[in-house]
Structure formats: C-alpha cells, structure tokens
Structure 1
Amino acid sequence: MDLITTHINADFDALASMVAAKKLYPEAILAFAGAQEKNLRDFFSQSVEYLYDFQRLKNIPFKEVKRLIVVDTRQASRLGTIAECLANPGLEIHIYDHHPANPGDLRGNVEHIRPVGSTVTIFVDLFRSREVTLSPQEATLLAMGIYEDTGSFHFDTTTPEDLQAAAWLLERGANLHAITQFIAQELTSTEVTLLGELIRSATTYTIQGLDITVAKLTIDSYFDGFAMVVRRFMVMENLNTLFALARMGERTYLIARSRIPEVNAGEIVREFGGGGHASAASATIKDLTMIEAEEKLIQVLHKQIRPQRLAGDLMSAPVISGRPNITIHQAEELLNRYNITVLPVVDENHRVIGLISRRVAGKAAQLGLQEQPVSDYMSTEFATLTPMATMGDIQELIIEHRQRIIPVVDGRNGELQGVITRTDLLNLLVNDPSRLPRNLYSEQLPSSERQRNLQNLMVERLGRRIVVLLRTIGEVAEARKYHAFAVGGFVRDLLLHEKNLDIDVVIEGDGIRFAKDLAARLGGEVRVHSKFKTAMVRLPDGLKVDVATARLEYYDYPAAMPTVELSSLKLDLYRRDFTINAMAVHLNPENFGLLVDFFNSQNDLKDKKIRVLHNLSFVEDPTRIFRAIRFEQRMGFAIGRHTERLIKNAVRMNLFDRFFGYRFFGELQLMLNEDNPLPAIRRLAELGLLPFLHPKLRMDARLENILSEAQAGLAWYHLLYLDKPCRPWLVYLLALTATLKGEEVKTFCARFEVPVRIRQALLREKWAAQQAATSLRRHAPTSNSGIYHLLADLGPEGLLYLMAIIRKKAAKKSISLYVTELIDVRPEISGHDLKNMGYQPGPRFREIFDQLLDARLDGKLRNRKQELAYVRRHFPLTAGSPPDSAESGPAPPPGNCRPGSPEPGTKP
C-alpha cells in the first residue's frame, strides 16, 4: 500500500500538504502520525469534508506499506509509530518538504525540497506545471496552509513563490473568510489567563546587541493552545524574537519565533532535538527541568546569535558633501551648519575625490585662505568601503588606520552612498541604540534653535490658571535640576490661537520622578507607564498633565512599535509625526515662554503645510498617514507635495500588512469622530487607502450618498437635544461599511483588532438595521406599535445608519417618529399595581405590559385610569381574588419598569 503522512502535532500546512499529495497519489491512504494542533482539530469539528479520508493508525498494517509519502518534514523522529515502516524491505520514500536540512534527515527516492515558506507552495508549483484541477474547497484548505506557515506573509521565510501560490489558489476559488476563521482565532478565557502569566514572566536579554525575550510558565497538564498564546504575545508586544518555555506535566516544551535574520529559530531549537525553520520552530524537552532548560537556552542563544553588521546597514545617508571648486570659507560654513567634522569632496559623478576636516578648514581660514578652493587642501589619501563591507573591515580602518571617516561607495561606479564615522562605530561598540541620522532634509532642518518668547501670548490665550500651572511645572523641574518643556499640539494650537488644554510636558531628566513631585506639590494623582517612561498627573480641578521623559523612538523594521531610549529634547522632537507638532516651549523660570523650533516648524504653520520630519516617517509608522489626513482636513491645511509622495510610496509598498491593527483602528476612530469626517474619508479614497480598510471598499456614488445621509442624520439628531448619547464615529463607521456583508465586517474587525465591545455593537447595529431596512422596503408598518417593535432593537447609532441607507420618505418618517415620540412611551402602571389588583407575578405580566404598551403607542390609552380599566376588561381575575386597591395607591413614576417585564425583584 501507499501511505501519506506528516509530522506529529500536525498543523494546517501539514494537513493541506497531505490532501495535496492525495491529488498526486490517488490510491494512497492518509494517516496522521500523531496528534494535531488545536486549530486543526477545531477545523475538523466544523468541517467534516476531509475528516473521513483519514485512517486510524491502529487500522494500518505498517508492514504492508511499500511507498511512504512524507510531507512537511523529513525527520524520522517526528513520524511517531509510522517510523516502523522505514524498516520495510524495498520501501520507496517520497519527500515533500520546505524545512532546512538537519543531520539525520530521511533521504527519498523522490524529493521535492525547496526553501519556501510553506510545503503547500511546492505542491502548487507541481499542480501548475501538471495542470491539476482543484475545487474551491481544496484551494481554500491549501491556502490555509500557506497563510499559517508564512504568518499571513509576515514571516521572513516568506518567498515570492508563496505569494504566487496563494494568488493561484485565490484564482481557483479559495475563500479568504474561511481562512480568517481558522487562522486568526480569538483567545479563549484559558488562553487569556496563560497569556497574562507568560507576559508577567517575560525577561529580555541583550545578546550581541539584540533584544531576545524569554518567557516561561508551568501548567499541570498538556495544553495544545500554547502556540497560539505565544503568537498573540509576540504580536501584542511587537517582539522581534520570542522563546517560550512551558512545563506541562512531566515535559518541557519550547516554542521559538523570530522576525529577524540574525536569530534563526530553527537552528536554535535543533540544539534541543526539535525542528522548524528560521521564523518558527518548536521542541519537546524530556530530560531537563524548566530551570535547566532555560539555562541551556541562554547558553545556546549566546552561541548561535552572531549578527552580521554590514557597512550598508550602518552608514549615514544621504551625505553632506561639497564640490572641489567651493572655497575654504564655504566648506567651513557647511561643516559648522550641519555640525559635521569631515566633509567629503565629490566630482560631477558624485565620486569621492577628497576629504577636508573642520580642523584643516579652520586653520586655513586663520591663515587667510578663505577664498581658496578646497581641492588645494583636501586629503586625497583615504580608503573607501562598499556597502557589503563587514564590521571587521570598518574597525580596521577606523581603529587601526585611524581614519576619521569612511566613505561608503558603490562598488561598480564609485558613487558615494553614505559615510561611517568614528562616532557611529563607538555608538555600536557600546551598544547605544540612540543613533539618529543627522538632518535628512539638510536645508529644511537647521540645527540652530529659532528662539521667540511666547510669554505674552500665553498670558493672553491661556488665562491665569493655566499659566500658573505651567510656571509651577517649571519650578518643580528646576528643583530637580531638570528642564521642562510644553510640547506638541499644545504649542501648535497656542501659535494658531486655538484652545487646547491637553498639556503634554517633556522632561530632560526622570519624567516619572518629576510627575510624582508635581502631584505631591498640587495634590494630584499619578498614573505611571514605566515601559515608556511616561506618566499622567490628574489634578484636583480635573486638568490632566501628560509627562514624558525626553526620548527618541527608533524602529527596528517598517511598521514596528517603537523602542524607547533616553535622549535629549531635540531628538525627542525629531521623533514627532509632523513639523507642526515638533515645537516646544521652555517652562523653567529662567527661560519661561521661550519657543524652541529646530525644524522650521513655524514656517510650515504659517504656510499651512503638513510635512513629515524625515523620509522614512511613514515607513516607520504608517498610522501617521491617517493622522496627516485628519490634521489636513480638520485644520484646513494641505499635505506637502513631498509628504504626499511619501504617503503614496508607502501605499505602493503595502506596508499595512505589518501593523498593530488596534493602532490603525484608534486613528480611524479619531478621524470619524471629527465634526465633519467626510473630506477625510474622500482623501483616504483619493490616496488609495480605502481598500486597505477592506478590499471591497470603493468611494462610489452609493457610498458617497450613504455617508452624506449619515452626516445629515447626525446633524438632525443633535438638534433634537435628546438625553440619549450617540457616538458619531460609530454612525460613520456603519455608513462606511454599508456595502460590506456581515462576514466581511467581521473580517474588518479581526484585521483591525477591534475591541470586543465595539465589535459586538457594530455587528449588532448593522444586523438590526439591515433587518429593519428589509422590512421597511417590503411593507412598512402602518401602526405606531408596529414601528416601535420594528425599531426597538436599534440604538441611536443604528437608527441613524438606518436613515442613511433607506431612501423612501415614508420609511424615514417612521424612523423620525420613533426617535422623537415613540421611543420613550411606557405604560404608567407598574408591577406593584398589578399585584395590588390581585394578579400573581408570572408570564401573564409580560402579556399585560406588552398589550398596554401597544395600546399606548396606538393612542388607545392615554392615562393611568384607562390602563387600569383596560387590564380589568381584558385580563379578568378569577373568583376569590383580593380586593382591588390599585387606584388608591400612589402611582410610580413612568418608565420605572420595562414594558413586558415584571417588577424588579420578582420572579417572572
């Protein structure tokens, strides 16, 4: 017989590869070597299509296996009891695998082994060349394998072939909603608990300049959802590497994940007898305790992690340079303006022909040679490196040959690419991550402060209370010998004469200690966020002061969460999103009110331009694109041409697959919560960003009309001055997703990690509104009670969304009637009244209140007396009931009991 199998603890790539192999070996039997991962078992519990194709191991005569087809592994140790087949005489082995080679790997008579992100990709390539047909269900399953093993194309092991394979499967009907259902799962309560324990146990080690996180936990028995918990931890904390140890029963399990090439998870885990690839690997550790396993892991990490630093990665670019015909005076100006010590001199082809230092230029000027060309005095004896040069090459030139600066040049044409200085090397050697490129927009980002005192403006615009608070902040900082600055939007709006009491303070010093001092001085409360070295001080009068330690943020890869290190004010301002938000005001007594503007921010404020501070701003943090659009539309500014080009470039690069969904959703909420978010939504469409929210979103005439109707509905609702709060952003979000189906909205919520409470509200209001819209289009209710019951399940947001998607005037009038008159109608009598009349609490109470409500809605009953008479007439009591005392009792206030419900505290 022919037998198809895979490794124990099979995942979707293993399952899909087995099903794919069955297409090539139709007579073969399918059998798992052991248990499957939890999400795979969940899949089988909901989809039995493939379940019955698999045989139990106990029913397979291993000695009769003549051909063994192994997928997604080639390690005999991972085949469980099926490894018995390997002793069969004349056994033919066919292997399909994408993992790196390991000592002791099986050798096959037929081998299809390639370093791609998923074994399924190998099968898809074979199917394409052999023109194998697939059903949509098969295509969906195979796509699940690719999505899981490439981390939805986030893992470094992802290759162009994986993307091409997924595209081919989509062409054959692969269902992305089904993929999302099983690949991106919500955590159970148990998994959430374990996630909390894992986070609390985490320790970060710095090895070879890299942050390596190790976490561990102990569980009484085996728990197969551990891999999902590890994956969620990595996403939540935006970790580049994570090694998780779990003691379950008598064994210790290791799961390794890595996003960076310097840390190969597969190689590290193989030291424990496990397997996997560079991005994801796992092992079962039998003979070590948790402590021993952790100690060995740390040793292995130190042994395995050897990051290769190349000149192209370390160099500063673009380079400040000069031509050979500039004068000594001009060279000295460049050196001083950009605060550099050596100026490369380049020819017309941008090839380096010399170097002139600040010392040489200064001495030449002292000797009266200011007008002489630099070509006369530049140094022409220097070495260059290519971008592929190693750290050893760099150290040799700077340390051994004492070369102050190394030009990095293109190896083909000698064109200058960047420079590496002694300071760059020193920063690297002392493991200081606070290296920041010098002014990337050299002329636009002058290094000298532009000083202007705003004290009078502060007194005029802020009022005495806020000015006194700011002076107190300065005094508290001065007592600690810290420097305090008001920064960001507070300064921007002060210069724009806009009211803004959101006070952000940056401290050059210990921000958390300062916040505690300020709270003690003013009698406030402190909330500390130690990880980001920030704090919030809430004052007795309700004002809040956000405090941050002066810092820079650097990003390890595009769209990463920032790593925070101590730094100076200038570097703190440099990390801001836009130039208009990169100003500060001194608060210390000596310099109170002095404006700090390193980056020509005032000019951009005057020109009403939104500009980023450096070219990689949107690459580092794509959420800034949403913020740029929001500021542009709210403030009536325009995004600068260069900045808009950078936005379009970020969209083309499709950086949005590597992001924290909840951060984007937060920005979207803020955008939709603006007084008029429609221009911002149109701008999103113009820049090609609506498909990022969902592939089916397009700004067509229908969506434009729904959004406009939603805006009109909100304006109408606010004019009613009702006491029922309405969330405008949710109304706009419902309108924005009006063209999406329920499952597509779920996909949107999962993609953007929408909080459960909001997700439930969104789906509930959307579903209820669609149901009501269908009824209103078919046959609108003619009675008030009919209108009430049709719309009773909708909140204010759902009602306004319903008005936006309904076109019939009669239907709109019905909704308006419900909102303005019917929604608060209640019977006047209560459950106490019914009990006093002799009725016993029970299901009959609901029937009575339902009928009373309908009669009140339809105008058949107008007061309490009529309600009591209605009850006696339609719900007569049996003989021997207690005397009626309802009319003589005090009437409770209307609305104290929900229609159709018994009195609180009584059983229905």
Structure 2
Amino acid sequence: MADYIYTMESRLSPDQMRTVNTVQGIARSHGMNVYLTGGAIRDILTGFPIRDLDFTIQGNPLKLRHDIETSGAVVDMVDETFCVLHAVFSGSRAEISMARGELFDKPGKPPLVTPATINEDLRRRDFTFNAMALSLNDGSLGLLLDPFNGAADIEARLIRILHSYAFLEDPSRLIRATRFAARFGWEMEERTRTRYDSAREGEYIQFINERAIGYEIEQIAHEENPIAVMQALESEGWLKVLCPEWTAAKADVPELAQLLRTRTVMAELNIGVDAAPAVMRFITSKLSDAEIAQIQQIIPHREFVAAWKQLEDDARELSKKLLSKEAAQNSGTWNILSTAKPEALLFLDATGRNKAVDEKIKKFFGEWRQLKDKLPFAEMAELRITPQHPEYSRICHDAFMLLLDGKLRTQGEIMKFLAPFEPPPPPPPPMPARRGRSAVKKIAAPSGVKSAEERPAVAVAPAVQTEMTPAKTAQRPEKTKLVSKKVPPREKKTVVAKTRATAAKNTSPKSARAVVKTAQAKPKTTQKKNLAKKVAPRPAVRATAVGQVAKATKVAKAAGKTSVRKAPDKNFGHPKKHLKR
C-alpha cells in the first residue's frame, strides 16, 4: 500500500494540514471515525490545486459544531437535512458531512437520508474519482478506500459515473461533468457519454433544484480558469440554467486577468487569499443589480456572499490608509499592507486607479521583500546576536523597518544600531589541568610501611662519591658526564689498610691480593640510576670460582659494601687455559 499520508502531507498547505489535524482531533475526542473524502483525495492524486477539504464522519457532525467554533473556525452554513457543516478555518475551507445513504423517489427531489457506513457513503457519489476516502483513524491510518477503482480512471483521464441512473437521480451532475471536463481536460467514458447525451435529450436538467443551482454558481468562482469553464457551460446550454441572462461575454475579462495574476504572485509569497469572492465580482460585473441580487440569494454559503458584498468597501478603506500620514514612510506602508485583509489587497491591486497606491502595492510584492534577504546582518554574528538571543525577532523586525526607511545604509549605522543589543561576553573557559609530576596526587603508603623520608639513609663510602661537571650540565643536562671524585691520599691509605687486614683473616693469600688490588684501583663512573640515589658503585671483585666470589662478598660486606659485581673470567671454562692456570 502506498504511503498516502505522506502524499497528503506533501500536497496540502500548512493551513490545510492544521485543518486536517484539528478535525481529526475533534472527531477522535467524540469517538467518531473520520475520513478525508471527495475532491481532496482526487486533487491529491491528480496534482491539481487542492481548494476545499471534504471530511466524512461516521456519526452526527452537528455535535462537533461547538468544538469546531472553539478551535477558531467560523461555521457559515449548517444543513440539518443532510447533516453537513461548512466551516472556514484559517487559510482553508472544509465541509464536514455525515456518512449517509440516499434514496431518490423522484428525479430532482431531495433524497431520503439515512446514516450509513463509509462504503455505503462512497456508493452514493457521482463519479468514480470522487468515490475515494483516506482513513484518518488510528487503526487504519493512511488506508485508501477505492471500491470503484477511481485511481485507475484518474490515470486514464476518464470521467465515469457509478451507475446508470446517476444523471436521473441528480441532474446537477450534468453540469458537474461538464465543469470537470473543462477543468481537467478529460473525456467522458463511453457509457457515461451515452447516459449524458440521453439525459440532455430527455431534459433531465429541468428537475434540478435551487440549492444545486446556487452551489454550481459558486463553484465557478473557485475555478482556476473561470472563463474557460463558463464558455464550456455556455456551449452545453447549462449556463442559462444557472442564470438566463448570464453569458461569458458579461464578464470583465481584463480586470479578471489582472486579478488572477496577482493571486499567483500572492500564492508564491505564501500569502493565503480566497480569491473566489473577487472572481465572482468580475464574472458578474455586467449583470444588472437585480440579477446579481438573485444570484446572491440562492448561493447556500452565506459567508461567501458577505465577503462578495464587502469587497469594495474594504478596498476603499485600504486605499485611504495608504494615502494617509501613517503611510508617509515605507515602514508605515509595510505595516498597513501586512495587516490588511488579503482579499481587500487583491481586489485593490486589480481595480486601483491611484498611481501612488499602485506603486506602493508593487513595491510591497517585489522590491521591499528583497531587503529581507540582507537579514541577518553579518555584524550580528560578530556581536553574538544569534537566534538564541531573547530579542532576536524584534531586532530583525526593527532592522528591516530601518532598511525600508533607508536608515541602515553603511556598516557604521548598522553597528550603532546593533551595539545596545550585544550580550555580555561569555566567561572564560576553565584552565586545563596541569599534567606532570606536580599534578600527580600522592598516594598514601599502607599502614606499617615507612615513607621514604622516614627510612634510614644508606651509608655511602667516601671513595666512590661522584658529582656532575657544571660546565657540561649547563650545556646538555640530559646527557651529563659523570666524573668520579678523587679520594684524598690519607683516606685511601686507611681504606687499603683495612681491606688488607680483613682479607688476611677471611681469605686465602691469592684472593686477598685480588681484593687489595681492587681496593687500590681507581673508582669507575657510576650509572645514572646510582647518580639519582647519590649512591656510588662498590669496587668490583674479580673472582675465578664460585667459592672465591662468596668469600669476596663477605670481605666486601665487612668493608661496608652492600653488593659485589661479578666480573667475567675470560679463561674460566676453557679446558686448556684453565689447566695452565
């Protein structure tokens, strides 16, 4: 199943979508099923402009009148016989009817109306492309009901009636078929054409009722090309049925063409306007007052007739405002035209004769709107005036008004205007955390373990203390050269004497001589690790066997050393050299 909900949302205007959501919510609150039916579904599928919204409710829509009026709509017509409400919402019109069945006793007579299901309601309609419904209910949202395959006739561009007695039961369908053929450029299906010709020869049109005549007259005013529709109706003889004195030649074609051009411009600027009252004013402009009064009397929608009568007065009042002191500046003219009724503005642009008024309306539709492209200024971003600013909308509006009056032409003027709205500077960002030894937190030592400061210092032999050369440390501190400190002669003799005495007691004469030679030898450069701890390496003891190393270790401990470095013996392990030794 195609996603018809997405198609509906993409085809309807924002005002029409709000109307759909409003009616859908009200019907759900009363526990009634609601469907979008008739011409709205047809126009959604064909791509033609969607003029009206038709809703069908399984229940009595008259119970929804209070909620509809509370939502802001105006109910301008109530038909208790057919249980139909006609409401005017903001920017759209809607007809809310009851799902019903109709039984015709005689041609042209009002039918017997009974409540019915949605399928029975679709079966009573005129043509197949109007007998479709789109569900707006939770359980079947987006389901398209098309029992007579109207979508196929739309694709084939055919007008097809539902049954053979369609023109006999409701003769107004003859006028409607001609109007649809002129609007869409479609042809009647073969069987439909045969029934149409038979109904015209049988003069079924004489049974049409007055309510249907008034409805068809109003529908001409809602057409995109009303002159073409009038000409088609006149050629078939149906225009005389609507009004005997009415012809396409009695329409004011030049002013109507100007009106339609202005309507297109307003639609491109997203200015919602109902042009039907003004269109009706021009297509009946050459009729007499009595004939116009007769037409106004039979039109069922009284709100439409009131708007038609009020057009000239509203346009005259708007023209006076545009010539007053209030409109002396461009900003004042913009405010007047922005708050005026769109219908009055449309009619004034088509019928105005004052050059000053026409020039202001022309600038309102064109030149002045181009100034809006300059907003927001680049300087607003520099001053941190963004959409999050609490007064951003008012700042843009005031800046636009000043642009209209020519008071913001240079960058200096723009900066002077924006300076008072500059927000205070944001607080500086927090300093990043320092990384290194100073930033590392000291971890507390476990209980019972002494810290490094409480541990006893290790005794260092004075003969092996080292220091760094100051000159080379200053040049390359990471690669300092270690120099052993010279031991004074007296201290050296004392160490050698002690070492000889200890070696004489615990070792053999040969190993004792080795220990003494080691003690007399010059101390070697310590490693970096020993430099960090300020501990000098002990003199190495050269041993030739495992037993001798152990004895030399005892000798070194007695002399104040903590460890002995084992020197490798080049001759140890070689059989011949070992025997020679």
TM-score, reference length from structure 2: 0.43
Using CA pairs under 8 Å that are at least 6 residues apart, name the structure with larger relative contact order, 1 or 2: 2
Q: Which of the two has greater helix per residue?
A: 2
Larger radius of gyration: 2
TM-score, reference length from structure 1: 0.29
